[in-house]
Amino acid sequence: MRLSSKLIALALLTGGLNAAASAEGDFAITGGIGTLGGTVEGQFQLNDYFQLRAGANYLAFDEDIDVDDITYDGDVDFSGFGAFVDVHPLGNSFFITGGAYAGGKDIDLVASSTVPIEIGGVVFTPAEYGQLEGDVSFEDVAPFLGLGFDTTFTGSGNWGFNVMAGAALFGSGDVTLESVGGTFSNDPVLQAQLAQEVQEIEDEIEDYELWPVVQVGLSYRF
């Protein structure tokens, strides 16, 4: 009788441990914020050393871009998707990660003025150039490398914390620029100066080519 009671107690204890283990599974959802805006990601643990991670980010903001005496109103949109492999070389919370961010990364440019401005080294009046409108497009796929600390699958509970830092290679921006609504909008002289202005914009946006990524988040493990 005593042996049967012990066996029943052992079975209940084992079942409880198994239930607790299954409650902390290999899948998690993470919400975060950082230099690529707000992020939502799914994480899947292959084993103690490898995890797969994928999600979406949203980043849109306005920024003035100054090129000589022209100030462009920049409408920046770096939203997109990402997929990564996280390697935990020590089997703990520290990880090295690699992958890519995909999706359009664009900056819409608009410039207008009430006074004459210099375009590509030549001065034009507002009536002559009207309004300058352009676009900067970066590569659709941006490779990423980074490292971080993530307790999602190493902590004792369902909730985890993660922090990551690295860099995404956006590449050189492809710039287009045109004059709209001016008396010289289709003039060959202005067109030639716009081509020179494009080169100056490309020089100005070099800081965007290698985008720093810093991200912190909270995760929930299923």
pLDDT digits (tens, 9 = 90+) for 11-38: 433 344 344 334 457 999 999 999 999 9
- The residue extents of the domains of the chain are 25-221
Confidence at 4, pLDDT banded by 50, 70, 90: very low
Tell me the two tokens of residue 8: 């029943």
Distances (CA, A) of 85 to 7, 47, 164: 44, 12, 13
pLDDT one-digit tens code per residue, 128-172: 999 999 999 999 999 999 999 999 999 889 999 999 999 999 999
> Under 8 Å CB-to-CB from 139, ≥6 apart: which residues?
105, 169, 170, 171
Element (H, E) at 135: strand 131-137
Is the separation of the CB atoms in 155 and 213 below 8 Å? no
CATH number for domain 25-221, candidates 2.40.160.170, 3.40.630.10, 3.40.800.10, 3.30.429.10:
2.40.160.170
Tokens 């659709």 found at: 140
pLDDT at 49: 97
Distance CA 147, CA 208 (A): 21
pLDDT one-digit tens code per residue, 81-105: 999 999 999 999 999 999 999 998 9
